[in-house]
A and B are shown apart, each in its own frame.
Chain A
Amino acid sequence: MTRSLRQSLNVMHTWGGLLCGALIFFVFFTGSLVVFDEEIDRWMMPDTRSAATTSDAGYDGAMAALRAEHDLGGQPAFLYPPSPRRPVYAVLFHDDNGHDLQRFVRPDGTLLPEQGSLGATGFFFPLHFSLHLEHFGLTALGYWIVGLAGMVTLAMVVSGVIVHRRILRDFFSYRPERSRGRALLDLHNVGGVMSLPFVAAMAFSGVAIFAYVYMPTGFLATYADSEAFFHDVLPHYDREAAGEAAQSASLDGIADEAARIWGGAEALALGVFHPGDANGYVAAYKDTPEQISYDYEQLDFDARSGELLHHQKLGPAMQAYQFLTGLHIAVFDSWTLRWLYFLMGLTSCGVIATGFLVWLDKRVARADAWSYRSAQAVAGAATVGLLLATAAMLTANRLLPLEMPARAATEVWVFFGIWLASLGAGFLLPGLTGLRRQLQVLALLCLTLPLLNGLTTGDALPMSLLRGSGAVAGVDLTLLLTGALAWIGARRLSHPAAALLTQPQAARA
């Protein structure tokens, strides 16, 4: 291997990491949160924390409760049954303007009031892959930005392996007794090697999920348009509404029939298309908790008679595609794997953060330059600022009154407002002062959030632990741990030795 190849890839690794690091950190951090999206939802939507009843009105009860309050107007509705992670029914549907809405129904058929929050499933999940640009009619642009981040991540992984010629030795090397730069690089290498398979798998599978956006030529060469392509590779039943009202068969009966056809497997969700119409039909999507592949094996039933209309069978290529999808979205039912995804995701964030520090440390002689201060401010906002914005959003979630108009939107504004303020603070308070202040605020928020949760909902941490409410207790404990780490980080940045990170060599001497 020539020296110039390594040098070329080193330039790419350094500058690609600096320019795209903030975006990649953002994607990995939001992805890590989404691993526990249902648990964060329970924390942010207190009414959905418990079923509060033992009776079950079933899908029919949930649908009836929804239709009593909402005129679906022929729009489809998707019903998700209660699960260990969500003790109530969730119903997704569209309003007249085509916006997604979510309501929850207790198993006894009581429609819960609007929760005034998008939660993690409604905010962090779409943010992870589309940056919420769909609200500006730029959905594809969001996919492209995140997809390019995925591709750059893969290129970073490949170039990182080539650049670090002693990668195996680096894996076992951490030398804090040597220079700070060496210690930071060791941390970056150890974390990078440890999370390498995870990062490669997540980045490639993440890009593959939206491959039809990034690489459409493959199917446009053989199909007239994308609709024809999807109809062929994901065969499903479809028909127009008749415009004539009709009585529907029992949704629970359809779910039972689907379970019989799948050999006992439960439905992940039911999709009700053209509800109340003579041409209405119901799609049942199989839950796949014991396999990696997200092959939901869709069954379509006539809504009036309950007769099976279509059974989706995927070809080998789509099965491979669904395997990659399942690997990425991790819907399999394993707490160990879910925690592993979460921790590896955070480790990947740590690798990016230490990469920033390595870059800054190497150029500390130019600490007064505008470019250095900009990089420092962006790095601070992209890492600590993002955590701060998340904690601020959770704080707003507990403090804003439930009856407040546009409460969910206000939470989102708080998130982006604090994130922007973090960037501004990075410019106004350069060096470690700004970072230390942000860590102090983060620690304060994270350490008080469990208390705030206990005061506003009655689910104080000891109560949650005693009741076995794992979702709420888990979020509270994670917040406490984050707060403690932020506090330790702020304390360590107050140490005189840490100040060297912002001082040029001459000033240190």
Chain B
Amino acid sequence: MPALPPSTPRPGPAGEALLRAVAALPIAWLAAAACSAAGASLLVLAGAPHSEASVWSLLGGLLLWLALGVYACGCRNLARAWLMPGTLALLGAAITWSVDAGGAL
């Protein structure tokens, strides 16, 4: 494969950045959805009315979706972009499951 001239931009980083940008919203959505469910569960567990807990979690989930989406786009590489949303998704799912399993809802 012939060497690229020094001034030619390499396709790798731009392609990866584009992939990060495209994948950011779905990945961020998964994390935000899990955290939204976890937030609602925890608020109910803390004694908040179901309606209040649900609506605040719903609106908070939207903000988290945006924040994680921008974060994922701004990360230096794909692994970093997926690490935090992935961790939050697992954490949120675990909290929701454990609160649900405890019969608090």
> A-side interface residues toward B, CB under 8 Å?
2, 4-5, 7-9, 11-12, 15-16, 148, 151-152, 154-155, 158-159, 162, 204, 207-208, 211-212, 214-223, 229, 232-233, 315-318, 320-321, 324
Contacts and interface: CB of A to CB of B under 8 A. Distances in A.
Nearest to A4: B76
Of the candidates B49, B52, B70, B100, the one having the most CB atoms from chain A within 10 angstroms of its own CB is: B70
B70 A155 contact: yes
A148 B59 contact: no
Given A204-B62, A217-B33, A217-B36, A152 B25 contact: yes
A12 B61 contact: no
Contacts of B55: 218-219, 233, 315, 317-318, 320-321
Interface string B32-57: 11101111110010000111111111
| Interface class of chain A by DSSP | helix
Contact of B50 (A148, A232, A318, A321): A232
Interface of B: 14, 17-18, 20-21, 24-25, 29, 32-34, 36-41, 44, 49-62, 65-66, 69-70, 73-76, 96, 100, 105
B93 to A, nearest CB: 10
A215 B75 CA distance: 24
B43 to A, nearest CB: 8
Contact of A232 (B17, B51, B76): B51
B66 A158 contact: yes
Nearest to B36: A218
B33 A9 contact: no
Contact of A315 (B34, B36, B51): B51
Contact of A151 (B21, B40, B65, B76): B65
A320 B54 contact: no
A383 B36 CA distance: 37
Nearest to B67: A158
A277 to B, nearest CB: 30
A321 B61 CA distance: 13
A148 B66 CA distance: 11
Contacts of B73: 8-9, 12, 155, 159
Nearest to B54: A219
> Most chain-B CB neighbours within 10 Å: which of A5, A15, A16, A215?
A215
Contact of A218 (B24, B58, B66): B58
Contacts of B74: 5, 8-9, 12, 159, 162
Given A204-B62, A223-B50, A315-B52, A8 B70 contact: no
B51 A318 contact: yes
Contacts of B21: 11-12, 15-16
A214 B62 contact: yes
8 contacts: A9-B70, A12-B74, A155-B69, A155-B70, A155-B73, A204-B62, A218-B55, A317-B51
A207 to B, nearest CB: 6
Contacts of A148: 25
A208 B17 contact: no
- Best-buried of B34, B54, B60 by chain A (most CB within 10 Å): B54
Given A223-B54, A317-B51, A317-B52, A154 B66 contact: yes
